[in-house]
Structure 1
Amino acid sequence: MPTARVSSAVMTHPVRRAQAEELCARLGLGGLALDPAPDDSPSALRTALVAWSRVAEGATHQLMIQDDVDAPADLLDLVAHCADRFPGEALAFYTNWHARNGAAARLAALAGAGWVRAVPEEFAPTLAITLPVAMAADFRRYALESGERHDDEVMAAFLRRDGRRSALLAVPTVTEHMGTSSINGHAAQGVRRAVCPAGAEDARPALYEGWVLEELDWLPYMRYGEGFVRLPGQDATPRARDHFGWREALPHTGLTEELIEDAMRAGRPGPAAREVGDLYGESFADEFWIHCLMLGRQAREAALRCAPPGADPAGTPAGERLRAAAVSTVGIAGLPPERRPDVGQAHTELLSAYAWTAIRCGESLPERDPADRR
């Protein structure tokens, strides 16, 4: 029985009240937080402030969950156990598959971690997030002074202020985003789903006992069909949100174009590359494979650097399923939004199999000299 006492609120708008009420009833959540000015310009922050104020008496933590999600029936119990483990942290239980934070969670899954520290320069994922009640009150005071309408941007700024750290992201994603509509103007991003979809049975061991990946070093991610790299310490620079193509970032990775070209010649399966190229373009087939090569390399580096001694990234059948789940989303997430609706099960399996050839090749690349890490 967890000692944390979690109260909760479903953030919603009157046009979605019915689905919010259904979610609230199904998960046993505390109640609705309705947009107090639904006819005004859209503002997620306006409604979030209501949700963060709905703290039940005696609660130690507040869970805010948005109305367009699916989640297991025992979500509150799972959140309470996680709050017991990390009582002073902001904990996010959903991460988009196409965000930098999604790339961080995917890399952590491949490395065998249960949690990963969010990149501080990106919006904080707030689809399902819990804060200690004192932090929730502090956030409300902070956010009341903001002119921003996106609560995830204000949350990120709040968490990184005064040297604070960013949120901890749950690597197995037990909450799932449903649909593509967006009251707050994000529909152009297309299909947005969880980076590492998992049932509660597989998620609990990772969330309750899995190690935490605190240090990301450089991070490969994809954006609209192209590969990029988040540089080490990029958040502390004037170019915190800039996108650096993987070629431009190579000096920070310990890799070279020659090494990547050799790996492609030796490890990339020609038939799969042609099939992916026919479907999504040769450029995507190249960029995607190189991205996954870098992903495999960095996941292995993260495990060597941060995992407990003797830890196996797969470890258990549940751990292997989490790795497979993270890779199942890497292809569709890397595509431009307009291409994602056309990706059926067969194409998902093709992209996953193709990704694994690159990831395994990346895992076998020569270990980086620690003196080269910068």
Structure 2
Amino acid sequence: MTTVRVSSAVMTHPKRLAQARELADLLRLDGLALDPDPDGPPSALRTALVAWAAADPARAGHHLVVQDDVSAPPTLLELVGRAAARFPDEALVFYTNWHARNGGAARLAALAGAAWVRAVPDEFTPSLAVCLPAGTAEEFRRFATGSAERHDDEQFSVFFRARGRMSLIAVPNVVEHIGTSSINGHAAQGIRLAVCPTAAEDAGPLLDRGRVLEDPGWIPYMRYGEGYVRLVGQERGPDGGRGHHRWTDALPATGLTEDAVRDAMSDGMPKDLAADVADRFGPEFAEELWIHCLLLGHRAAAARATLASTDEAIAPAALGDTPGGAPAAPSDDVPRDVLDRLRNAAVSTAGPAGLPPERRPEAGPDEVGLMSALAWTAVDAGERLPPGRPGRPGRPG
């Protein structure tokens, strides 16, 4: 597989200097980008500008910036270099939060059989590990210099929207967030992990040859124990699309009715599994999780059909069903078991990601297993739902 030269930097604060040095050594990154005003008001963008200024087109065609609170395999630079060779003009994102709209897009893409998905324009761009063409890195640095924004992830999205093309998100995540502390004020979000944690040996063929879901359509996601839907064209709303549509309000735009959802739940939600999840996290959460995953499965089936009808089509499945029951067609020569593991990773994080932040520490291996088992029954039921006829959405909640 072709690779390209990628320069790199770890953006860090003096409080985490030892951690950043250890990470740079492990990943063989070029150096550190220190906060130029460590005693000033918290600002990730201030440090990011230093990191992106280290890009040098004469030395490397692409530049990778990672934040200091991540873990990643020693082969990260190689994986990034191959991805940059495949998509030389794209902004590439290698970590996505499990509870964000873009996390929902990645989870949907995984179930549809894709390895890359186009980010939505109405949310921050996850910035824990981003690779830009060197020229784009310099454009971003100039664009963001002097901004009053302190969040680099928000400024990225402003920049990409202005260019008319959002980033490409790697669905398999080899980069993982570590810890819950936050210099930039995100600690209240609690445990924040990758949406599709993936071993490097699986990520390689997926990133090299996996399909791209350019248009995920409407996207189910969960936040603080409740299910929502990111609507198509939502970014054109008066608030820039930042509002949240509860699934009940968004159903007309999906083509489904609440009666159809409730009937599917009555027929397909196993009472024993639902009761086990309800015993631990409450009946409301168990119901919201099941409906969220029902919508996820329904949308994934449509996205899979879209992929299959394009030149970037996924070949028809011929090797039986995946652990969730619905076939995920192999993507060129990506091994079937690799796609299966990606799907399982996506579903395994749906439950803990959907919990309120204060309750995520309660999700140990047994709880995650129960939530995953319940989630799969909903995904399977959603993939069997007939397509509806989209109407107009309700108001954002």
TM-score (norm 2): 0.91
In the alignment, which residue of structure 2 is the partner of 1:219?
A: 219
- The one-letter code matched in structure 1 to 2:182 is S
Q: Deviations over 1:35-79 (max 9, x none)?
A: 011011110000000000112442000000000111010110110
Q: Deviations over 1:236-269 (max 9, x none)?
A: 2214111011111111001111111111111100
Q: Is this contact kept in 2: 1:156–1:166, CA < 8 A?
A: yes
Matching residue within 309, 315, 322 for 1:310: 315
Q: Is this contact kept in 1: 2:252–2:392, CA < 8 A?
A: no
What is the SS of the residue equivalent to 1:227? Answer: strand
Structure-to-structure mapping, 1:126-141, within 5 angstroms: 126-141=127-142
Q: Deviations over 1:89-115 (max 9, x none)?
A: 000000000000001000000000010
Q: Is this contact kept in 1: 2:315–2:329, CA < 8 A?
A: no
Task: Give distance in 1, aligned partners of 2:392 and 2:383.
Answer: 17
In the alignment, which residue of structure 1 is the partner of 2:144?
A: 143
Q: Is this contact kept in 1: 2:108–2:216, CA < 8 A?
A: no
- The one-letter code matched in structure 2 to 1:202 is D
In the alignment, which residue of structure 2 is the partner of 1:283?
A: 284
TM-score (norm 1): 0.97
Residue 309 (structure 1) shift: 4.9
- The one-letter code matched in structure 2 to 1:31 is G
Q: Is this contact kept in 2: 1:94–1:128, CA < 8 A?
A: yes
Structure 1: runs of 5+ lacking an equivalent: none
In the alignment, which residue of structure 2 is the partner of 1:61?
A: 62
Q: CA 1:309–1:79 in structure 2 vs 1: closer, same or farther (change >3 Å)?
A: closer
In the alignment, which residue of structure 2 is the partner of 1:241?
A: 242
Q: Is this contact kept in 1: 2:296–2:382, CA < 8 A?
A: yes
Task: Give distance in 1, aligned partners of 2:211 and 2:237.
Answer: 29
Q: Is this contact kept in 2: 1:217–1:233, CA < 8 A?
A: no
Q: Deviations over 1:162-190 (max 9, x none)?
A: 4x111000000010000000000000000
Structure 2: runs of 5+ lacking an equivalent: 318-327, 331-335
Matching residue within 348, 365, 369 for 1:349: 369
Residue 2 (structure 1) shift: 3.1
Q: Is this contact kept in 2: 1:87–1:132, CA < 8 A?
A: yes
Task: Give distance in 2, aligned partners of 1:184 and 1:101.
Answer: 20
Task: Give distance in 2, aligned partners of 1:194 and 1:296.
Answer: 20
- The one-letter code matched in structure 1 to 2:176 is E
Corresponding position: 1:359 with 2:360: no
Structure-to-structure mapping, 1:316-355, within 5 angstroms: 316-355=336-375
Task: Give distance in 1, aligned partners of 2:315 and 2:152.
Answer: 40
Residue 145 (structure 1) shift: 2.8
Task: Give distance in 1, aligned partners of 2:86 and 2:128.
Answer: 21
Task: Give distance in 2, aligned partners of 1:277 and 1:200.
Answer: 35
In the alignment, which residue of structure 2 is the partner of 1:261?
A: 262
Q: CA RMSD in A?
A: 1.4
What is the SS of the residue equivalent to 1:120? Answer: coil
In the alignment, which residue of structure 2 is the partner of 1:74?
A: 75
Q: Deviations over 1:251-300 (max 9, x none)?
A: 10011111111111111000111111111111111111000000000011
Task: Give distance in 2, aligned partners of 1:301 and 1:110.
Answer: 11
Q: CA 1:88–1:373 in structure 2 vs 1: closer, same or farther (change >3 Å)?
A: farther
- The one-letter code matched in structure 2 to 1:349 is G
Residue 340 (structure 1) shift: 0.2
Q: Deviations over 1:276-330 (max 9, x none)?
A: 1111111111111000000000011001012415344253001000100111100
Task: Give distance in 2, aligned partners of 1:116 and 1:291.
Answer: 20
- The one-letter code matched in structure 2 to 1:206 is L
Task: Give distance in 2, aligned partners of 1:217 and 1:373.
Answer: 14
Structure-to-structure mapping, 1:27-46, within 5 angstroms: 27-46=27-46
What is the SS of the residue equivalent to 2:169? Answer: strand
In the alignment, which residue of structure 2 is the partner of 1:111?
A: 112
Q: Deviations over 1:10-54 (max 9, x none)?
A: 000001000100000011000000001101111000000000011
- The one-letter code matched in structure 1 to 2:218 is W
Task: Give distance in 2, aligned partners of 1:337 and 1:125.
Answer: 18
In the alignment, which residue of structure 2 is the partner of 1:11?
A: 11
Task: Give distance in 1, aligned partners of 2:242 and 2:184.
Answer: 21
- The one-letter code matched in structure 2 to 1:91 is L
Q: Which moved more, 1:311-320 or 1:6-15?
A: 311-320
Task: Give distance in 2, aligned partners of 1:105 and 1:309.
Answer: 17
In the alignment, which residue of structure 2 is the partner of 1:168?
A: 168
What is the SS of the residue equivalent to 1:361? Answer: helix
- The one-letter code matched in structure 2 to 1:310 is A
Q: Which moved more, 1:302-311 or 1:211-220?
A: 302-311
Task: Give distance in 2, aligned partners of 1:182 and 1:22.
Answer: 19
Task: Give distance in 2, aligned partners of 1:65 and 1:373.
Answer: 40
In the alignment, which residue of structure 2 is the partner of 1:296?
A: 297
Task: Give distance in 2, aligned partners of 1:177 and 1:347.
Answer: 21
Q: Is this contact kept in 2: 1:10–1:31, CA < 8 A?
A: yes
Equivalenced residues, count: 372
